[in-house]
Amino acid sequence: MEENKFDPLQFIGFLLISAILMFWFYDNQSNYIENQQEVVIENPIEKFDDNSNAVNVSEQNSNRVELDEKFTEEIITLENDKILFEISTSGATINKLLLKDFNNYNDEPLYLVNDNKSIFSYNIPIGRNSVINSRDLNFSAEIIKNKSVLKLTAIIDMQRSLELTYSLEENSSILDFDLKLNDSDRNSSYDELELIWGKDSFRNSKSIDYENRYTALSYGFEGEKDSWLSVSGTSNKNINNVNWISFREHFFSSILILNNETNNIEISSEDLASNETLDDKFTKRFKANIPLSLDSNNNLSYRIYYGPTDYETLKEYNLTLENSVDMGWGIFGWLNRFIFFPLFSFLTTYFSYGISIILMTIIVKVSISPLTYKSYLSQIKMKILKPELEVINEKFKDDAMKKQQETMKLYTKSGANPMSGCLPAFLQMPIFFALFVFFPAAFSLRQKSFLWADDLSSYDSILDLGFYIPLYGDHISLFPILASISIFFYTKMTTGQQMMPASQTGGVNMKVIMYLMPLMMLFFFNNYASGLSLYYFISNLLTIILMLIIKNFIIDDNKILSQIEENKKKPIKVGGFRARLQKALEEAEKQKKSRGK
C-alpha cells in the first residue's frame, strides 16, 4: 500500500496557479475600479458631439456661404465583394458599414457602423481662430467609378471649398481617403486640420462579457511598438509617433493607417457593456482626435482597414497591423506567433477545426512528455524517501536548523531533488498561458462547430438556466464540465493518495485544495470559448493516460529504490547551489552553537 505524504512544493504550485488564474480573470475588474472617472454620463449612447473642438464661425467669417435651402440629401453606395458603405452627402458622413461575409450571433448582418452610432468628420481651420466642422457642410456628389470611387465637394465660403474622395478597390478591405482644401487666396497657408473619429461598438457574440474582455483600442507607434487602453472602465491618453489606431471589436477591427507618424493624438475608451440601460447592445465607445498635416498643395491622404481581426490577414499588409491582435506579451506572444498559430493553420488545412484542436493538443502533450516523466519520477523518489524524512523530522523536531541540514544530506546521498518535481510544472506554464491567449485571438474558430458546440469561439451551452448565477452565468456549458472532471481526476491521481490530515498540514484541508482547481475551471470557463475548454479537457485526459503509462509500464518502483540505495553508498559530491546552501546551513549552525555557549 502506498504511504501518504504531503508534498509542500506541489501544494505551493497549486496555490500559485490559483493565484495567477484569479489575477488573470479579475484584472479587468480591478482596472475598472482604478479607471473609473467621477463624471457620470446619463445617456452614453446618444449621438456623438463632433463639434466640441470647433469654434462657432457664423459671426467671425462673414464670407461663409449660407446653407442651401434647396439641398437634398443623397445616400451614395460604395461596395465590393467584402464591404458595403453608405455615405451621405449631408456632412459626408458614413451612415452604414456592412461586412458582407459575416453575420453576428443572431445570424443578422454584421455592421461596424450603423444607426448614427459613429462619427467621422473634420475640424477645418478657415481663418484666425476660426474652425468649421465638415459635418455642417452640404456636399455635391460625383461618382468617378461606379461603386468604387466617390468624390464629394462642399463650398465652405466664397474662397474655400473642400473635396473628399473615397476609393474602394475590388476585393479589398481598405478604404482610401483623400482630402483637398481649395483656396482661391494663394497666400493662405494651412498647417493641419483635425479628424474626429469615433464609434460605439456593436455586440456581435453570444457572451457580451467575453467579447467585451477582448474589445479594446490599440495603436502602433515608432514603427514596431504597440500599446492599448484599458479594456475596462473609462480611460484616455495622449499619444505620439503613431502609425495606426485600431478600434478592435474582438473579432472585427477598424484600423486607421496613417501615411506618416503623427503626434498629439487624443484617444479614449469607455466601457458600455455594464450600462444596463443599453440592453446589452454595445461593448465599448472609442474616440480619437487626430491632427492631420496638409502638404504644400493642401492635400492629405490616409487609409482605413475594415475587416476581421485575423492575424494572418493583417500580417499580409506588412504594416505591423497584426500587432493589433492580442497575442500575449513576452514569451507567450512568441509561442503564439511562431508555433501555435502556424501549427493550427497547417492542421486546419487538412482537418476540421475541432479535430485540429485535438491534434494540436496531442502534439503539445507529446512534446512536453519528458517533463511529465521527470515530474512523476520525482514524486516516486520523494515517496520512497518519506519514511526516512519522517525519522529526521521526529529526531530533530526541536532543532529546525539541524533538521534542515539532515534533510539536505539525505537528498544529496540519494540523488533526489524536491525541486525537480516543481520545475517541470513551472516550465509548462508559458505553454499554458500562451494557449489561454491563443484561443480568444484565433479568428478562424469563429462560428466553427464541433459536436454540440455551434461556435468554438464562444461558449457551448447545453442548457439555458433562465436566471443568472454570479460568476457563473445564465447557462451551462458542457466542455468546462468535462475539463473540470478531468482536472479532478488528475489532481486525485497526483495528490489524492498522498493527502495528510489537516492537523498535520498547518490546518490546511488538502481535500479543499483538490476540489479548488476543478471548481475554478467550472466557473471561469463557463462563458469562455468552447475551443479553449475542449483543449484543456483533452490535455488533462492525455496527461492522465500518460501518467498511467509511465506508472505501469515505464517506471519500476523497486528499481528506483535500488538506485537510491546505491547512490547512498557513493561518496557525496556537492556542488553549485546545493553546496552553497549546505555551507550556509552549517555556518548558521556554528553561529547558533557559539551563541549558546
Other beta carbons within 10 angstroms of residue 425's beta carbon come to 18
pLDDT of residue 174: 94
294 with 186, same domain: the answer is: yes
pLDDT of residue 10: 46
399 falls within a domain: yes
pTM: 0.78
Three cell numbers, residue 453: 458546440
| Average pLDDT over all residues of the chain | 79
- What is the mean predicted confidence (pLDDT) over 116-133? 85
pLDDT band at 587 (very low <50, low <70, confident <90, very high): low
Least confidently predicted of 221-230, 511-520, 570-579: 570-579
**Calpha distance 529→514 (Å, rounded):** 25
Q: Could you report the per-residue pLDDT of 224-241, keeping only the tens digit for each?
A: 778 888 887 888 899 999
403 with 525, same domain: the answer is: yes
**Calpha distance 423→370 (Å, rounded):** 12
**Residue whose C-alpha cell reads 525541486 in the numeric block:** 419
322 with 448, same domain: the answer is: no
316 with 442, same domain: the answer is: no
351 with 309, same domain: the answer is: no
Q: Where does 438-585 show beta strands of DSSP type E?
A: 461-469, 473-477
**Calpha distance 95→111 (Å, rounded):** 10
454 with 408, same domain: the answer is: yes
Q: Which H helix or E strand runs over 88?
A: strand 83-88
Task: Indicate the burial class of 250 (C-beta count within 10 angstroms; 0-12, 13-18, 19 or more).
Answer: buried
313 with 296, same domain: the answer is: yes
Q: What range defines the domain where residue 488 resides?
A: 8-27+344-569
84 falls within a domain: yes
245 falls within a domain: yes
pLDDT band at 424 (very low <50, low <70, confident <90, very high): low
DSSP 550: I
In this structure, the dihedral spanned by the alpha carbons of residues 35, 37, 43 and 45, taken in order and rounded to 10 degrees, is -40
With a cut of 90, say whether residue 344 has pLDDT above it.
yes
Secondary structure (DSSP) of 51-72? TTTPPP-TTT-TTBPPP-TT--
pLDDT band at 134 (very low <50, low <70, confident <90, very high): very high
591 falls within a domain: no
277 with 362, same domain: the answer is: no
Tally the domains of the chain.
2
337 falls within a domain: no
313 with 378, same domain: the answer is: no
21 with 44, same domain: the answer is: no
Task: Return the percentage of the chain with pLDDT > 90, whole number.
Answer: 38
78 falls within a domain: yes
271 with 157, same domain: the answer is: yes
With a cut of 80, say whether residue 576 has pLDDT above it.
no
Q: From 293, 326, 359, give the residue that closes a domain.
A: 326
485 falls within a domain: yes
**Calpha distance 9→205 (Å, rounded):** 41
Other beta carbons within 10 angstroms of residue 577's beta carbon come to 9
Note whether 500 and 6 are within 8 A (CB): yes
331 falls within a domain: no
391 with 452, same domain: the answer is: yes
pLDDT band at 99 (very low <50, low <70, confident <90, very high): very high
**Residue whose C-alpha cell reads 479568428 in the numeric block:** 443
CATH number at residue 208: 2.70.98.90
pLDDT of residue 121: 93
